[in-house]
């Protein structure tokens, strides 16, 4: 059976729309609050090979319909912030957008994954304006602190080295370090509150 040709144009359009909307929302946030909570923003389109592998794991053929069902994160954007309270400020900011529709929320900060992974995920629908109609494309937004991002980056590298199964001692260490990361985030949050109290008294 010949493999279906998949057009990535709409995903490229959706990524541009999402990047622009987030930029505008962040500029407004800074204007309103006089503070920029974001360290950096990173966006990407999942590669064709990565999509095929993901669908294969789910026993799905590679076509437009199955991508919608089995790979809703073709368009991805990660927002890394300074402090843990900033995560929820950014979530609220996105929820208040008139152009982005929230489809699903996953709070892995309150409820971490078994591996220790923490982050806040939003599955959203982004409008793209075509010649004759408006179409909504799904995208995934991840919001996390610098500390969470550091842990996730190391975890990703380890999983790449052990694609079948991570050795138990390494897995256990990762879980332990994830708890250390959470404690660090809480300490930095408390430090930020102290800093803000000094600023308010000036």
> Would you kindly state where each structural domain of the chain is located, as residue ranges?
9-200
Band of the pLDDT at 152, cuts 50, 70, 90? Answer: very high
Lowest mean pLDDT among 64-68, 106-110, 170-174, 178-182: 64-68
Beta strand spans in 2-133 (E): 38-45, 75-81, 101-107, 120-129
Q: What pLDDT score was predicted for residue 160?
A: 82
Whole-angstrom Cα distance, residue 182 to residue 184?
5
Token reading at 21: 């909307």
Whole-angstrom Cα distance, residue 42 to residue 152?
14
Q: What pLDDT score was predicted for residue 198?
A: 80
Beta strand spans in the chain (E): 38-45, 75-81, 101-107, 120-129, 134-145
Q: pTM of the prediction? A: 0.89
| Cα 150–Cα 156–Cα 161 angle in degrees, nearest 5 | 130
Beta bridge partners of 17: none
Q: Is 34 left (phi over 0), alpha (psi -120 to 50) or beta?
A: left
CA 130 to chain centre: 26
Q: What pLDDT score was predicted for residue 122?
A: 97
Residue range 9-200, CATH number? 3.30.460.10
Q: What pLDDT score was predicted for residue 2?
A: 44
Token reading at 153: 């980056």
Token reading at 27: 């500029």
* Parallel/antiparallel/unpaired status of strands 134-145 and 75-81: parallel
Band of the pLDDT at 5, cuts 50, 70, 90? Answer: low
Band of the pLDDT at 202, cuts 50, 70, 90? Answer: low
- Percent of the chain whose pLDDT exceeds 90: 67
Contact 75, 103 (CB under 8 A): no
Q: What pLDDT score was predicted for residue 6?
A: 61
DSSP state, 103?
A: E
Q: What pLDDT score was predicted for residue 1?
A: 40
- 7 has pLDDT over 80: no
Q: What pLDDT score was predicted for residue 85?
A: 95
- Percent of the chain whose pLDDT exceeds 70: 95
Q: What pLDDT score was predicted for residue 71?
A: 83
Band of the pLDDT at 64, cuts 50, 70, 90? Answer: confident
């Amino acid at each position: 059976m010949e493999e279906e040709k998949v057009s990535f144009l709409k995903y490229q359009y959706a990524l541009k729309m999402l990047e622009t909307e987030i930029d505008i929302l962040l500029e407004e946030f800074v204007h309103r609050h006089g503070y920029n909570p974001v360290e950096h923003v990173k966006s990407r389109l999942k590669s064709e090979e990565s999509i095929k592998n993901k669908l294969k794991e789910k026993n799905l053929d590679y076509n437009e319909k199955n991508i919608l069902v089995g790979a809703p994160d073709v368009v991805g954007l990660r927002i890394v912030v300074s402090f843990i309270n900033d995560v929820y400020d950014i979530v609220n900011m996105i929820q208040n957008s008139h152009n982005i529709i929230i489809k699903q929320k996953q709070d892995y900060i309150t409820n971490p994954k078994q591996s220790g992974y923490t982050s806040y995920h939003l599955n959203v629908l982004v409008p793209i304006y075509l010649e004759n109609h408006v179409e909504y494309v799904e995208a995934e937004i991840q919001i996390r602190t610098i500390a969470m991002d550091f842990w996730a980056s190391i975890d990703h590298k380890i999983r790449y080295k052990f694609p079948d199964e991570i050795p138990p001692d390494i897995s256990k260490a990762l879980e332990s370090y994830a708890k250390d990361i959470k404690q660090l985030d809480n300490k930095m949050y408390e430090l930020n509150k102290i800093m803000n109290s000094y600023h308010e008294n000036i």
